[in-house]
Amino acid sequence: MEVLFTKVCENYEIGDVANVKSGYARYLFRNGVAVKNTENLKKQVECKKSSFEWHREVEKQNALELAAKIDGKIFEVLAKTGKSGKLFGAITTKDIALAVSDKIGRELDKKMIHLEEEIKSVGTFLCTVKLFSGISTNIHVNVVADESESE
């Protein structure tokens, strides 16, 4: 059965036409990944594909701009500490994302931030921010004791 892919699936891109077995075709239809190939649908999928590619290119440009804006910058995170300088708990990617978002004025998802190790003490740490496929940058996180909490 000849199917037309409407979403990215395994080795197929949007707009690809493949000849698959009927059982696999039913699976693809049920999951909304592909439709039976007709000339009318092919034109619609080509339009959808060009729109998808355009949006992807815009996202890539935004990621490049953001990477240039935050690359190598130092972001400060306040944390409650004990007398020895050890943190109560740990600094999470959510805390780092909030600090970066506040400073740059743009939302940053916590899933974009990757830590080499848990941050459980005061100091400066290196983090990798993966903004887009193939676009990542490094930032420095300076963990500072919150003076208002220690009193």
The verdict on pTM exceeding 0.85 is: no
Q: Mind listing the pLDDT tens digit of every residue in the chain (151 residues)?
A: 899 888 888 788 878 889 999 999 999 999 988 888 888 877 777 787 788 888 889 999 999 999 999 998 999 999 988 887 788 889 999 999 999 999 988 888 999 999 988 898 889 999 999 998 889 999 999 999 887 654 4
Same domain, 44 and 61: yes
Burial of 43 (0-12, 13-18, 19+ CB in 10 A): exposed
User: Which element (helix H / strand E) includes 120?
Assistant: strand 119-121
pLDDT tens string 106-116: 888 999 999 98
**Number of domain units in the chain:** 2
Tokens of 138: 């490094």
Structural domain of 90 = 71-150
Same domain, 85 and 125: yes
Same domain, 83 and 142: yes
Q: Are 112 and 129 contacting, i.e. CB atoms less than 8 angstroms apart? A: yes
Q: Among 67, 85, 104, where does a domain finish?
A: 67
- CA distance linking residue 150 with residue 66, whole number of Å: 35
Q: Among 67, 90, 106, where does a domain finish?
A: 67
- CA distance linking residue 133 with residue 57, whole number of Å: 11
Phi, psi (rounded to 5 degrees) for 31: -90, 0
Distances (CA, A) of 93 to 18, 33, 102: 42, 33, 14
Same domain, 92 and 138: yes
3-state class (DSSP) for residue 76? strand
Tokens of 13: 């891109």
Same domain, 105 and 76: yes
Same domain, 77 and 134: yes
